[in-house]
Structure 1
């Protein structure tokens, strides 16, 4: 009886983990790829041309999709739980700091680089959690 309860608990954790990993991936890539919805507002706010404003999303997508090797090294150095906690604090921090930006160049760093790195962390960490938990049971 105890074995059946343990198996049922493990199976329910797998589904919860799968659903949270899917939700995090949808939120991360939803924010990254729908960032263009703020394009016109950013052009008007910062009084920039289309090229300077489009660079924000270009940096965000480039950093998000190209940060794999570095994030793997950092996760193996500090550990997965610590990296997950720090990543969950840095995404809102990058967006909140960009509220005070006076020039679009500041947005390149706060949203493009900081949030881009952390978006990949979130996606990568949840994939690792799922694979780690899947292999344990």
Structure 2
């Protein structure tokens, strides 16, 4: 028998094992992300409901006031509700003539690419005479 004749077979076995471990790792990471989404969607929906009723962004009669959102200290607002998760709040409204879009987040925290989102339909008061139908979206992810 020649010396080192088992070396190519051993190399193939090691490469195959490394590829197998890589595939198993990717599947596990994907499973963890999907499990987080499934487990925490209700948390995101509850946070969206709670934020839509927060007095610091509401005007009269449960309508979100754009001027209050513009004057909001986003870092303090996120700190108030971001005890268990990091999150961002997005408020947007569109009509044929106007678009309103605002993201409230902590500037010190980078947004994660994975997480779970929940949205609610809301009414946004743009000014004293204009109210638009819009969407309030909350995205949360692990701290």
Higher gyration radius (CA): 2
Q: Same fold (TM over 0.5)?
A: no
What is the TM-score of this pair, normalised by structure 1?
0.36
User: Whose helix proportion is higher, 1 or 2?
Assistant: 1
User: Whose strand proportion is higher, 1 or 2?
Assistant: 2
